[in-house]
Structure 1
Amino acid sequence: MSERNNSNEHHGKKPKVRTEMSRRQFLSYTLGGTTAFMAAGMLAPMIRFAVDPALKHKGEADWVKVVEEAKVTNEPQSFAVQVHQVDGWYESEVELTAWISKGTDGKIFALNPTCKHLGCTVNWNTNPQYKNQYFCPCHGAHYTADGKNLAVAPAPLDEYKVKVENGFVYLGQLGANTRG
């Protein structure tokens, strides 16, 4: 009877099973971990290279010397300037155009000639139907001398920051129109 009691005591408990890692599992884990570590080491610089330009803070644009202050009139004039531009890894010399004039307040301002409707280039006083206005030949948008949108375009022309220093007009960052 004592044998029976002993077998009943062990019957309710599961025997302890020792799990050991086989050589095959050990090699699989070791090689898999090493491969993942080496792949991460190779991919990290590539990801950094691809994402880095997007993460860089874009500072203010450099001031670009455009024209002598004495040559600016109340009538808008088109001026083209060469600007060094960096887009990610691509560097180029780009020609920018600005319409520069004096406002009714006597202050010099500069407008970007890109129409806010579909991106065509506007010109000053080229349509006899719209005297003394910027006119877009693509879809008939027109603007006041201050760049305020009158028809078709959803927003006024963008405005460059302007500073006058030592008798010359300098253009800076392009931003929203403060005049129109």
Structure 2
Amino acid sequence: MSEHKKQDAQHQGEFPVRRREMSRRQFLSYTLGGAGAFMGAGMIVPMLRFAVDPVLQPKVEAAWVKVVEAAKITEVPTSFKFKVHQVDGWYESEPELEAWISKDKEGNIFALNPTCKHLGCTVNWNGSPEFKDQYYCPCHGAHYTADGKSLAVAPAPLDQYDLKVENGFVYVGQLGPNKRV
């Protein structure tokens, strides 16, 4: 009767269970592949963290920097240099920046950034005899009014620093778009 059961089992689609064994080659491949992936992840994760961490840090507003005494400011724009503490990712530096500071006709003090909006050259007040009482860019001939309004070549006005006067001194802060024009 046992032969009869075997034949019935084969006719119904049941086969005896066969065990699959892992060969030595497969075992070594899996083991070495897993260990290699673990070591690779151990090297890549710190590199990714190093690259991405500065991007995830919250951005801070520029600190106020004391530049000059308010009594020294006139209606004629004057260039003043100042240093700021700057952190770019993991690199810290203290670059020297420049601002053209002057008073308007009402006596309000304002500060402009001397970077030309055309191609980034540095503009100067009365830099060309052709354009008297204007900021002039020697690179491509862009020129601006005393308020920083573009008159030729440049697509936008000069940027303006936030500014405050405290205890007789002028402080500059965050650089932004020109609010005067």
Deviation at 1:109, TM superposition (A): 0.8
Normalising by structure 2, we get a TM-score of: 0.87
Q: Give the aligned CA root-mean-square deviation in angstroms.
A: 2.2
Residue 171 of structure 2 corresponds to which residue in structure 1? Answer: 170
Which stretch has the larger CA shift, 48-57 or 138-147? 48-57
What number of residue pairs does the alignment pair up? Answer: 178
Residue 154 of structure 1 corresponds to which residue in structure 2? Answer: 155
Residue 37 of structure 2 corresponds to which residue in structure 1? Answer: 36
Aligned identity (percent) is: 70
Deviation at 1:22, TM superposition (A): 3.1
Deviation at 1:140, TM superposition (A): 0.8
Amino acid across the alignment from 2:13: K
Runs of 4+ in 1 over 3 A off after TM superposition: 3-9
Q: Give unpaired runs (5+ residues) of structure 1.
A: none
Which stretch has the larger CA shift, 84-93 or 39-48? 84-93
Amino acid across the alignment from 2:85: H
Q: Per the alignment, do residues 77 and 47 of structure 1 end up closer, same or farther by CA in structure 2, a change over 3 Å counting?
A: same
> Is the 2:75–2:102 contact (alpha carbons within 8 Å) kept by the matching residues of 1?
yes
Normalising by structure 1, we get a TM-score of: 0.87
> Is the 2:127–2:138 contact (alpha carbons within 8 Å) kept by the matching residues of 1?
no
Deviation at 1:4, TM superposition (A): 9.2
SS at match of 2:95: strand
Residue 136 of structure 2 corresponds to which residue in structure 1? Answer: 135
Deviation at 1:39, TM superposition (A): 2.1
Taking the aligned partners of 1:77 and 1:126, their CA distance within structure 2 comes to 12
Which stretch has the larger CA shift, 7-16 or 19-28? 7-16
Deviation at 1:137, TM superposition (A): 1.1
Q: Give unpaired runs (5+ residues) of structure 2.
A: none
